[in-house]
Amino acid sequence: MSNDTLDVINVPKLSKLDFVSDQMVKWCPGCGDHAILSSFQKVLPDLGFKKEDIVVVSGIGCSSRFPYYVKTYGFHGIHGRAAALSSGIKIANPDLHVWMVTGDGDSLAIGGNHFIHALRRNLDINIMLINNRIYGLTKGQYSPTTPTGKVTKTSPQGTIEHPFNVGELAIGAQGTFFARAVDTNPKMMTRIMYEAAKHKGTSLIEFLQNCVIFYNKAHGLITARETKYDNQILLEHGKPMIFGKEKDKGIVLKGTQLEVVKIGENGVTEDDLLIHNEKSEDTGIHLMLAKMQPPEFPAALGVIRSVIHSTYEDTLHEIIENERESNPIKTVDDLLNSGKTWEI
């Protein structure tokens, strides 16, 4: 796969229906997962992969039911371990396209270790982290992304913990691709899924997803029709950072910090705005963008970071090929008879 285009294998054009399994989808009505699933099934035919080369992997949680609903190879693992499962699958067979579906509890709490190390190793896998800021399957306990002070079943006086910012964590863990999408915008989701598939390396998409039952409107400011324009900004590589219903707001770098400005006020023009560079090696601006939160800032959506580092499986493959060439031990019989031996 080149960096910019998908290597479309000569397979008959598939449709969304080719990826819909015969299993009844059991998420609550109104759950954001429905839209994410549908977008995923929709983007798969566009990727041009053979359907038997796709593997969907998950851990535990509402979102982790995902593999049962997608008609590909699938593995529903155990809590927190989806990243380890995905890593083993990808290393064993790099030709497979591995999609891992996980949640804020699965990957940031119980599976935090595997999650950060998967990012660091940069295997070419795609991680879809569905963040609803609450534990849904166990019915409403706080998660590592629940805002401080939030009352939940396990924080009756409000949580006293500081939440993770997914992007900040991922970039800190050497993540090479981080994007964010909202579950209310299928078009945005499919576009970002496509970008993630294209990225050679571990790509992480954080979906801001709404749990209607246990934390309704967790991302309400960002997604609600009446407030979204002021509270989200869709980043595009090479384009100035503009947002707002009237496209009249922007982001500038003032000193070492980001600031929201109004175009036309105080002499600010479009030329003053930051131009998004997702390919910047330097993580500084990417981290600042990932951390932007309403109401002070719009939440950054789209691809925030996309840089190319060597992937684990490619480098391993190279080493194996070199060893096969140069190492005199070609078989286990060679190995058994290597070194110091003697005849009786």
> Is 137 an interacting residue with respect to other proteins (CB under 8 A)?
no
Q: Are strands 249-254 and 257-262 parallel, antiparallel or unpaired?
A: antiparallel
CA distance 159 to 148: 5
Q: How many residues form the binding site for other proteins (CB under 8 A)?
A: 58
CA distance 213 to 157: 20
> For other proteins, which residue of 16, 34, 42, 76 counts as binding (CB under 8 A)?
76
CB of 52 to other proteins, least distance (A): 5
Element containing residue 334 per DSSP (H, E): helix 332-336
> For other proteins, which residue of 2, 10, 17, 92 counts as binding (CB under 8 A)?
92
CA distance 223 to 228: 5
Cα–Cα nearest to 80, from 30, 117, 114: 114
CA distance 71 to 73: 7
Tokens 């990012």 belong to: 119
> Is 242 an interacting residue with respect to other proteins (CB under 8 A)?
no
Angle at 97 between CA 75 and CA 46, to 5 degrees: 115
> For other proteins, which residue of 35, 36, 44, 57 counts as binding (CB under 8 A)?
57
Provide the mask over 32-51, with x wherever binding to other proteins is found by CB under 8 A and - wherever it is not: ------------------xx
Question: Which C-beta is closer to other proteins: that of 71 or that of 305?
Answer: 71
> For other proteins, which residue of 113, 154, 269, 315 counts as binding (CB under 8 A)?
113
Question: Which C-beta is closer to other proteins: that of 34 or that of 51?
Answer: 51
> For other proteins, which residue of 31, 37, 71, 305 counts as binding (CB under 8 A)?
71
Question: Which C-beta is closer to other proteins: that of 59 or that of 302?
Answer: 59
Cβ(97)–Cβ(125) below 8 Å: no
Cα–Cα nearest to 206, from 258, 168, 243: 168
CB of 9 to other proteins, least distance (A): 12
The first and second tokens of residue 163, run together, are: 């939440």
Element containing residue 289 per DSSP (H, E): helix 284-291
The first and second tokens of residue 269, run together, are: 């023009």
Question: Which C-beta is closer to other proteins: that of 164 or that of 297?
Answer: 164
CB of 180 to other proteins, least distance (A): 25
CA 58 to the chain's CA centroid: 13
> For other proteins, which residue of 25, 38, 75, 287 counts as binding (CB under 8 A)?
75
> Is 332 an interacting residue with respect to other proteins (CB under 8 A)?
yes
Question: Which C-beta is closer to other proteins: that of 84 or that of 235?
Answer: 84
Tell me: cis bond preceding 295? Omega within 30 of 0 counts. yes
Cβ(304)–Cβ(167) below 8 Å: yes
> For other proteins, which residue of 137, 268, 308, 316 counts as binding (CB under 8 A)?
316
CB of 113 to other proteins, least distance (A): 5
Positions that interact with other proteins (CB under 8 A): 21, 23, 50-53, 55, 57-58, 60, 67-68, 71-78, 81, 83-93, 95-96, 113-114, 117, 316, 319-320, 323-324, 326-327, 329-333, 335-337, 339-344
